[in-house]
Structure 1
Amino acid sequence: DEAIALFRESLSIRPKDAELLYGLGVALMEKGKLAEAADLARQAVAIAPAMAKAWLLLTQVKRQTERDAELAGMEAEHAKAPQDSLARMQLSFGLGKANDDLKDYGRAFDYFAEGNAIRRKGIDYD
């Protein structure tokens, strides 16, 4: 609750700060306030479309019911994200979840596989 209050206070000073919008969205998601978290994620990606973690947050707090402009926006950012980057991984997981919601399991699997392959490259095995 203290974090939420601090994020809100900070946003009163810097209302267009995508990082603050994202941070408040995460805090609200953890409190179960999913609709408000989704709204904040939408505001963050409107300001910073390449903010992959905000796209991922959006998929975590909403159920994708159709192929809409939000999904198209996330797909466009995925196409632009550098191969093997954290952003590409986050967008892959978000697109996997969105396509799973849409029952497009083949596409969901491909995105999840890509995200996991990127994650695996970042793990140093002996």
Structure 2
Amino acid sequence: VRQAQEKIELDRVVEVVRTLPQQSKLVLFAIILLEKQGVHNINTGEVYNIYKRLCDEIDADVLTQRRVTDLISELDMLGIVNAVVVSKGRYGRTKEISLSVPLEETEAVLLSDSRLGDIEDVQPFVQARFDN
């Protein structure tokens, strides 16, 4: 029974990811790239920087950081990512983002989209940071 429930959940995730708009897929792929690099507590700025590179790679329009933040919130509501607003004191607030779905399966669904096939080889530049 548990395996059947997991299969149903995975099928739901696959269908939700497959039907996302292209811009949401790019944002999700940026999060996946950061997760694959071992980045924890991914923040909105990191996602946005990689998102811009992905857009350049496939010649897609680049949305504003504010709009990308809205897309992250939508992915959070769909249960694909977990995004928590964290206050950094005088440095402002940011969202800390983590993937809520299986990484490999989600990445495979994104790369099966003909418009996103060219982004597979993009290597994210991750800035070193000090976590407190």
State the TM-score, normalizing by the size of structure 1.
0.24
| Structure with greater helix percent | 1
| Structure with greater strand percent | 2
State the TM-score, normalizing by the size of structure 2.
0.24
Q: Which has the higher contact order (CA 8 A, sep 6+)?
A: 2
